[in-house]
A and B are shown apart, each in its own frame.
Chain A
Amino acid sequence: MDKSGVRKNPDGKCIIVFKPSGKIVEAEQGTLLLDAAKRAGVEVQTPCGGFGRCGRCKVQIEMGEVARRQGPHLTQAEIERGVALACMTVVKGDVIVYVEPKEVTRLAPPQETTAEKIALPIACEWQRNPRIRKYFLNIEPPTLADATNDFDRLRRELKRQAGVDNVFASLQVLKNLPTVLRQDEWNVTAVLESDNTDNGNGSQPSRLINVQSGDKTKTSWGVAVDIGTTTVVAYLVDLLTSKVVDIASAYNGQINAGDDIISRIIYSQRGDGQSQLQAMIVKTINDLLIELGGRNRVKLPEINEMVVAGNTTMTHLFLGINPKYIREEPYVPLTTHPPIVRASELGIRINPEGGIYAFPSVGSYVGGDIVAGVLSSGTFQSGKLTLFIDVGTNGEIVLGNADWLITCACSAGPAFEGAGVRNGMRAVPGAIEEIWVNTETYEPTYRVMGNLPPQGICGSGLLSSLAELFVSGVIDKGGRINRALKTPRVRVGEHGAEYVIAWASETQHEQDIVLTEADINNLVRAKAAIYAGFSVLVNSVGVTLADVEQILIAGGFGRHINIEKAIQIGLLPDMPWDRFKYLGNTSALGAYTTLVCQDMRLLANEIAAKMTYLELSADNSFMNEYTSALFLPHTDTTAFPTVQSLLDSTRERLALSGTSVET
């Protein structure tokens, strides 16, 4: 390459060098930088799905010629400096590109509560009818007098020694049988998978999923996986004791293809996008399995069963089903009850014959994760009128009790997960997780995860900053920053009014961390969608919020919700705090319960069938409830008496101290 860097190879191929990794790919002229980066294995974040909407895939063109498509995310100065959006830029010749390594995505998310604390959330007789059974058999070798074939010989012993009848096996398992049987003098362990959920009397055929030489009955492993849109969590479970032995979590590898399910579906429709997405989630899960296996000295083929719970789109993508029609009216998924598949069909690196059970869903926007959540929360067995809220991007809500369940999804958006917010980030070390604002000086104090200099604000930090700025009077009930406040923290920046939470001198990246009015609007919209969602749900069955006896909060974010602040901003209803309960990751808990106790599969079906789905887009009261909730805490101030009295007392105190609340 010469100095100008605009040389073209004779065959028309361009050489693209990615710094700082030094990875090199050849690509046709006109190749999208993003695609080239992918081929080179260079990670570039595209939360918007690669549509030039988010501006997060900025790269630096150090040398060479590219063509950029116009977009709002680059300033003229940036273009002059060589900054480009990878998703909107094609190569015209040999290019050297610098891609900022994204520390954030490489950091592991905070680990779930330690494994020892995880217990079966609801009672079940898991020992009565295990799905995976192992039998150690000592088999009489064949003779000329008894020349029964290998498989029948095994089956005969299974019947004789274990009383198991009606066993079948795939060709793959049978192929290994002759060798394994003779490896340890006809001492083998047969691993059977029995689907006895119907009656438990053993009349169903059992699948022989493995035969191993020697006695392997001392251990039996399974995994339960929650496939979140953002985070994937896997529990390694000892099926002999029902204990969760270890937990691992990682970001869903699909994140770089879009933050929310809609972006993922869009991504899946381009080229081989769908199989790329499937490969990403399979890799994420396999990496977690390798981590769990390594840490616990478990060989992955020793894991014989897997249960996954995810929203309908995640489940479709995982199973390799086209999710296209989930997004198109009238929003139908391929199926709500996916069949059990074998691990080898998906490339999951447990026993290739091991079954993978995906939780049934209710519909396109109420998925298996919510069915699993309801199952593990016990809502379906409670006499109490229960509101179950999954505070996530999709904002699923379930209302009901032992007799009935109604559900809706209110698309809150990813604001509380840090996306769509200027200095938002995920909950990893370096994230501001809580903020307090002094009511008189408007100076903030904050706490950072991992006690590091701050890098951004995560969901709980955003929630608390919204509440604090509101209560301290920095923003009004409409979410507007009071520009007249006499504090350097409030200023009008490039993107409108903003409040400075951390000065550049305090932060990791030496840039101010701010909350802008636009961020505030996004957060208010997210909270309004959730509040409006459960308001409509509650009204639709003719009860009021006051009738709700318990509110269960779920989701990865749910672990961080500060109830007091969530009420102050009107995300949660103003009720006595003892009616709220955190459940943590209910989806993973549901998957775990079902892994251990296969009878739960019947319950899952029952729950999915019992849930009535309310489509909010077809409900004309939703918009009214939503606009009404687009206010802090709410347009109906009488619904938030404790917040009103807090505001009144703050106002009084300020009046006494002589600080004016007004402009």
Chain B
Amino acid sequence: MPVTVETPIEKWNGKVREVTLGATQAEGGTRTSTVTVGGSATLPFLHFEGSVPHRPVIAIQIQDVDPQDWSPALRAAWGDTTKDVVAWAKKAAELGPDLIALNLRSAHPDAGNRGADEVAQTVKSVLGAVGLPLIVYGPGVAEKDNDVLVRVAEVTAGERLAIGLCEQGNYRTIVAACLANGHIAIARAPIDVNIQKQINILINDMGLPLDRILMDPTTGALGYGLEYSYSVLERLRLSSLQGDGMTQMPTICTVGEEAWRAKESKVSEGVPEAWGNYAERGVIWETITATTQLQAGADIVVLRHPKAVGLIRKTIDLMMAQ
């Protein structure tokens, strides 16, 4: 006897806010295309329940110094291009991502300590080499971030870059630069829903519109807190669907950085044989972390390995197919 099972449909009051990255010439920038994320009126991929107007997107992460500390598996995949950030950006763009995420590592005191003007020029040249919208990360040292990112924001005014990271201890300067130059701020919190909301509020209090804020609730890689970041992403999505305007920003997850930090992605020797081929292992680590984050509600995943980019694109295709 056939049994009819009714699919339960949840009625939500809110939805994720739409944020558009990048600006075309007509919009005051130089991008050949823009990317809009967010807009979901349901939990991830529940097409039967509510609208999912935009697919989650992929950013490929590159940096402006040759990343000698990266896993050999990653370095092998990119080859020599990592020595020249412009060549790297072009090669990354060929893989068909939605965005490029540029780390301004060279400004870090331990990695060259380049000055703001020089670094800003790097950003300009990357913008000149690729037409995709850009995410720009400072070196992660408050003082340098404030110095470098302000300069970057100024020379790229109107490009609608996503700029980060803004944290509770250091956000004012970066937010002010985004505010003045038409960029988007990335709000980072340490795997904590409350703190995420607090930094969102602080940024919005400075006058930056809510559709120019992205949330980065901090990613934990597989085996390194993935379940915590899953839970936080899910709670943020639930809260935004329940109508809390201060948690409705789309989310961005730095998957590649975290997954390739794991011992399992880096170490080839002295590990059990059952762990399998080491080069593949890293890709799998990154892919599983990214897939999980997407299932939990990530709107942007920032990846590192070309193979992971392909696998995740395929995953997103499948999840978006109705």
Chain A residues near B (Cβ < 8 Å): 476-478, 480, 482, 484, 624, 627-628, 630-631, 635, 637, 662-663
B195–A627 contact, CB under 8 A? yes
Q: Which residue of B lies closest to A625 (CB)?
A: B194
Residues of A within 8 A of B199 (CB): 478
Report whether A630 and B194 are in contact in the complex, using a CB–CB cutoff of 8 Å: yes
Q: Is the interface of B mostly helix, strand, loop or mixed?
A: helix
The smallest C-beta distance from A318 to any residue of chain B, in angstroms, reads 41
A637 to B194, CA, bound (A): 12
Cα A574 to Cα B294 in complex, Å, equals 38
Which of the candidate stretches B169-177, B271-279, B306-314 sits at the interface with the other chain? B169-177
Contact A477 B201 (CB under 8 A): yes
Of residues 178 through 225 on chain B, the ones whose CB sits less than 8 Å from some CB of chain A are: 179, 192, 194-195, 197-199, 201-202, 205-207
Could you tell me if B192 and A637 are in contact, using CB atoms closer than 8 angstroms?
Answer: no
**B36 close to A (CB within 8 Å):** no
A488–B176 Cα distance when bound, in Å, is 22
Q: Is B168 an interface residue (CB 8 A)?
A: yes
Q: Is the CB of B198 within 8 A of A477?
A: yes
Query: Does the CB pair A663–B194 fall under 8 Å?
Result: no
CA distance A480 to B206 in the complex (A): 13
User: Which of B168, B172, B195, B201 has a CB less than 8 Å from the CB of A482?
Assistant: B172
Q: Does B262 contact A (CB under 8 A)?
A: no
Report whether B169 and A476 are in contact in the complex, using a CB–CB cutoff of 8 Å. no
Which B148-179 residues sit within 8 Å CB-CB of chain A? 168-169, 172-173, 176, 179
Q: Is there a chain A Cβ closer than 8 Å to B246's Cβ?
A: yes
Task: Report how far A476 CA is from B206 CA in the complex, Å.
Answer: 10
Contacts of A628 in B (CB 8 A): 194
Q: Name the distance in Å between B60's Cβ and chain A's nearest Cβ.
A: 33
CA distance A476 to B176 in the complex (A): 14
Nearest 8 pairs between A and B by C-beta? A627-B194, A628-B194, A631-B198, A635-B194, A478-B168, A663-B176, A635-B197, A663-B172
- A484-B172, A627-B192, A663-B176 known; A637+B201 contact, CB < 8 A: yes
Besides A477-B205, A628-B194, A631-B201, 20 other A-B contacts (C-beta < 8 A): A476-B202, A476-B205, A478-B168, A478-B198, A480-B169, A482-B172, A624-B194, A627-B192, A627-B195, A631-B194, A631-B198, A635-B194, A635-B198, A635-B201, A637-B201, A637-B246, A662-B176, A662-B179, A662-B206, A662-B207
Report A-chain residues with C-beta under 8 Å of the C-beta of B197.
635
Which residues of A lie under 8 Å from residue B179 when comparing CB positions?
A: 662
Which residue of chain B is the closest to A483 with respect to CB atoms?
B172
Smallest beta-carbon distance B143→chain A, Å:
13
* Residues on the B chain within 8 Å of A631, using CB: 194, 198, 201
Q: How far is the CA of A631 from the CA of B194 in the complex (A)?
A: 9
Return A524 CB to nearest CB of chain B, in Å.
11
- Complex-state Cα separation, A478 to B192, whole angstroms: 15
Assembled-state Cα–Cα distance A422/B207 (Å): 33
Report how far A191 CA is from B42 CA in the complex, Å: 79
Q: Nearest Cβ distance between residue B167 and chain A, in whole angstroms?
A: 10
- Shortest distance in angstroms between A498's beta carbon and chain B's nearest beta carbon? 16
Give the interface centre of B198, B199, B207 by most chain A CB atoms within 10 Å: B198
User: Nearest B residue to A660 by beta-carbon distance?
Assistant: B207
Bound state CA distance, A42 and B180, in angstroms?
61
- For A482, the chain B residues whose CB sits under 8 A away are 172
Q: With both chains docked as a complex, state the minimum distance between the C-beta of A486 and any C-beta of chain B, in angstroms.
A: 14
Q: Which of B169, B172, B199 neighbours the largest number of chain A CB atoms within 10 Å of its CB? A: B172
Closest residue of chain B to A479 (Cβ to Cβ) is: B168
Residues of A within 8 A of B176 (CB): 662-663
Bound complex: CA A206 to CA B173 (Å): 77
A663 to B171, CA, bound (A): 11
Q: Which residues of A sit under 8 angstroms from B202, Cβ to Cβ?
A: 476-478
Determine the chain A residues whose CB is within 8 A of the CB of B206 once the complex forms: 662-663
Please, which residues of chain A bring their CB within 8 A of the CB of B195?
627
Give the nearest-CB partner of B172 in chain A: A663
Tell me the smallest distance from the CB of A188 to a CB of chain B, in Å.
71
Question: A476 CA to B204 CA in the complex, in Å?
Answer: 12
In the assembled complex, the Cα of A662 lies from the Cα of B204 at a distance in Å of 11
Complex Cα distance A572/B121, Å? 51
Q: How far does the alpha carbon of A627 sit from the alpha carbon of B207 in the complex, in Å?
A: 24
Residues of B within 8 A of A624 (CB): 194
User: In whole angstroms, what is the CA distance A628 to B195 when docked?
Assistant: 7
User: Within the complex, what minimum Cβ distance (angstroms) separates B258 from chain A?
Assistant: 22
A100 to chain B, nearest CB (A): 36
CA distance A654 to B194 in the complex (A): 29
Report the nearest A residue to B208, measured CB to CB: A662
Shortest Cβ distance from residue A652 to the other chain B in the assembled complex, whole angstroms: 13
Q: How far is the CA of A663 from the CA of B172 in the complex (A)?
A: 7
Query: In the docked arrangement, what's the CA distance between A478 and B246, Å?
Result: 15
Chain B residues, Cβ within 8 Å of A627: 192, 194-195
Residues of chain A within 8 A (CB-CB) of B192 are 627
Contacts of A480 in B (CB 8 A): 168-169
- Could you tell me the distance in whole angstroms from the C-beta of B283 to the nearest C-beta in chain A? 36
Chain A nearest CB, measured from B75 CB (Å): 39
> Which residues in A have their C-beta under 8 angstroms from that of B201?
477, 631, 635, 637
Contacts of B246 in A (CB 8 A): 637
Complex Cα–Cα for A76 and B215 (A): 45
- Whole-angstrom distance from the CB of A335 to the nearest CB of chain B? 40
User: B232 → chain A, closest Cβ, in Å?
Assistant: 12
Contacts of B198 in A (CB 8 A): 477-478, 630-631, 635
A550 to chain B, nearest CB (A): 29
**Which residue on chain A has the smallest CB distance to residue B246?**
A637
Docked Cα-Cα span, A276 to B201, in Å, equals 51
**Whole-angstrom CA separation of A443 from B307 in the bound complex:** 60
Closest to A629 in B: B194
List 30 interface pairs A-B (beta carbons < 8 Å), by A numbering. Answer: A476-B202, A476-B205, A477-B202, A477-B205, A478-B168, A478-B199, A478-B202, A480-B168, A480-B169, A482-B172, A484-B172, A624-B194, A627-B194, A627-B195, A628-B194, A630-B194, A630-B198, A631-B194, A631-B201, A635-B194, A635-B197, A635-B198, A635-B201, A637-B201, A637-B246, A662-B176, A662-B206, A662-B207, A663-B172, A663-B206
**Residues of B with C-beta under 8 A to A662:** 176, 179, 206-207
CA distance A663 to B179 in the complex (A): 11
Complex Cα distance, B169 from A482, in Å, reads: 11
Complex Cα spacing A452 to B247, Å: 49
Please give the distance in Å from A517's CB to the nearest CB on chain B: 10
Query: Whole-angstrom distance from the CB of A647 to the nearest CB of chain B?
Result: 9
* Chain B residues whose C-beta falls within 8 Å of the C-beta of A484 in the assembled complex: 172
Complex contacts, B172 vs chain A, CB 8 Å: 482, 484, 663
Q: Which residues of A contact B205 (CB under 8 A)?
A: 476-477
Closest B residue to A626 by beta carbon equals B194
Q: Closest approach, in angstroms, between the C-beta of B100 and any C-beta of chain A? A: 29
Give the docked Cα–Cα distance between A234 and B244 (Å): 51
Q: How far is the CB of B178 from chain A (nearest CB, A)?
A: 12
In the complex, per-residue mask of B235-249: 1 if CB is within 8 Å of any chain A CB, else 0: 000000000001000
Assembly CA distance A480 to B194 (angstroms)? 17
- Most chain-B CB neighbours within 10 Å: which of A628, A630, A635? A635
B169, B176, B199, B205: most-surrounded residue (chain A CB, <10 A) = B205
> Complex formed: what's the CA distance from A635 to B198 in Å?
6
With both chains docked as a complex, state the minimum distance between the C-beta of A483 and any C-beta of chain B, in angstroms.
8
A663 to B192, CA, bound (A): 27
Residues of B within 8 A of A476 (CB): 202, 205
A484 to B207, CA, bound (A): 16
Q: In the bound complex, what is the Cα–Cα distance between A482 and B206 (angstroms)? A: 11
